[in-house]
Amino acid sequence: MTTTAGSMLSCTVDGAVATVLINHPPANTLTPELLAELSTTFDQVAKDEALKVVVLTGTGRFFIAGADIRVLASITSSKEGEAMALQGQAILDRIEGVGKPVIAAINGICLGGGLELALCCHIRLAAEGSRLGQPEINLGIMPGFGGTQRLARTIGQSKAMELILTGEPISAQEAKAIGLVSEVVPPEDLLRQAQGLARTIASKGQVAVRASLRAIRQGIELNLHDGLALEARLFGALCDTADRREGLSAFLEKRQPHFMDR
């Protein structure tokens, strides 16, 4: 087990699973500096072939409470605001497109840019007592790091409209009911369950994991016909892999497969 650390986050590696811990007290606000550290960390994760799954979580009562209000207040023009939004979007796009499953373990307050960060992760678990929302409307602005796009694609347009236009947060239980998170767990079990899920995914053949990730991520942007065609191409490519042969052999021989990720 090894650990690398920046000033606002740490990355602990255990086998094939990396756990990225946001530690920017008092509320884990999403500053430009924290975004830069996240970008650097996920660049390193992408390059490390030994890492197969990432868990992203925060410290204390906060996943991320939102963007730094002082930074928002410092914007002096529409051009500057657009540039900030594009930079944040690019970093979150990088996390979503890292090529490995990213699990958000939402440990508490998850608002504004924090929810936008969680939305770019592929799977979301939440601790009981967490609050999630997009309160930007209360500041006279709107989500700018992808919230209007990813939230509607995740929970549907009507509920996304409600959350964004009212700015009201919801509970972890409601977040599960509308499909924003997949599980709600006791706070003391959150990281253990997220890491257990990560280990389960890491134990699968990673060629198939990456193909599935691509089919879901890219396919949701396509019409059904083109999405099915993408699925068929990726399925066909997997039929030529050593992992496919091993998986079928293991099943027929009633043993655990030993995937080689090729």
148-191: pLDDT as tens digits: 999 999 999 999 999 999 999 999 999 999 999 999 999 999 99
pLDDT at 1: 42
197 and 230 share one domain: no
150 and 229 share one domain: no
Closest CA to 96 of 57, 143, 144, 38: 38
Consecutive H or E run containing 56: strand 53-58
70 and 58 share one domain: yes
169 and 248 share one domain: no
Q: Give residue 210's domain range.
A: 206-252
187 and 247 share one domain: no
Residues known to be catalytic: 116, 136
Domain boundary among 182, 202, 222: 202
Give the residue carrying structure tokens 């990456």: 210
164 and 228 share one domain: no
119 and 225 share one domain: no
Average pLDDT of the residues of the chain? 95
Closest CA to 172 of 133, 119, 131: 131
Residue 83 tokens read as: 């540039």
**DSSP letters of 117-181?**
HHHTSSEEEEETT-EEE-GGGGGT----SSHHHHHHHHH-HHHHHHHHHH---EEHHHHHHTTS-
Domain boundary among 161, 185, 202: 202
pTM metric for this prediction: 0.94
| β-pair type (131-133, 109-111) | parallel
Is 243 inside a domain boundary?
yes
Domain boundary among 202, 223, 242: 202
Is 125 inside a domain boundary?
yes
50 and 129 share one domain: yes
Whether the ω angle into residue 26 lies within 30 degrees of 0, i.e. cis, is yes
71 and 24 share one domain: yes
95 and 9 share one domain: yes
Intra-chain end-to-end CA distance of the chain, in Å = 25
CATH code of residue 136: 3.90.226.10
Number of structural domains found in the chain: 2
Count the neighbouring beta carbons within 10 Å of the beta carbon of residue 235: 14
Amino acid at 230: L
Is 110 inside a domain boundary?
yes
Tell me the pLDDT tens digit for each residue of 52-110. 999 999 999 999 999 888 999 999 999 999 999 999 999 999 999 999 999 999 999 99
Is 27 inside a domain boundary?
yes
pLDDT at 7: 87
CATH code of residue 228: 1.10.12.10
Is 259 inside a domain boundary?
no
142 and 248 share one domain: no
Q: What are phi and psi of 229, to 5 degrees?
A: -65, -40
135 and 244 share one domain: no
